Amino acid sequence: MNKRFTEEKIVAILREAETGSKSIEELAREHRVSEPTVYFWRSKYGSMEPFEARRVRELEQEISRLKEMLAKRELQLKTVTELLQTR
């Protein structure tokens, strides 16, 4: 998935919204995203600092990698179990 905005940029946009200098509508228009996107970002990254947002992304990638490893291991185990039962 190709993201237009890094977590750091998203957090910067949300900080700009927190200052109150611009409305959500203005920020969305300025950064060419929809208003629901800004609200989604706020729910996900609302109180985070840029380094925290980056760490969340890294952890999500690690979780995904570990889930894939677990699925492969379970498939191997199932295959071996079936093989042993047929003997």
> Residues 40-69: pLDDT tens digits?
999 988 888 888 888 988 999 999 999 999
- Residue 70 tokens read as 């677990």
Q: For position 31, what pLDDT does the model report? A: 92
Question: In angstroms, rounded to a whole number, what is the distance separating the alpha carbons of residues 35 and 39?
Answer: 6
Helices (H) and strands (E) in the chain — how many of each?
4, 0
**Exposure class string for 18-57: b at 16+ Cβ within 10 A, else e:** eeeeeeeeebbeeeebeeeebeebbeebeebebeebeeee
Domain boundaries, the chain: 7-86
Q: For position 71, what pLDDT does the model report? A: 98
Q: At what angle do helices 24-31 and 35-45 cross, to 10 degrees?
A: 100
Q: For position 87, what pLDDT does the model report? A: 77
Query: Is pLDDT above 50 for 1?
Result: no
Q: For position 67, what pLDDT does the model report? A: 98
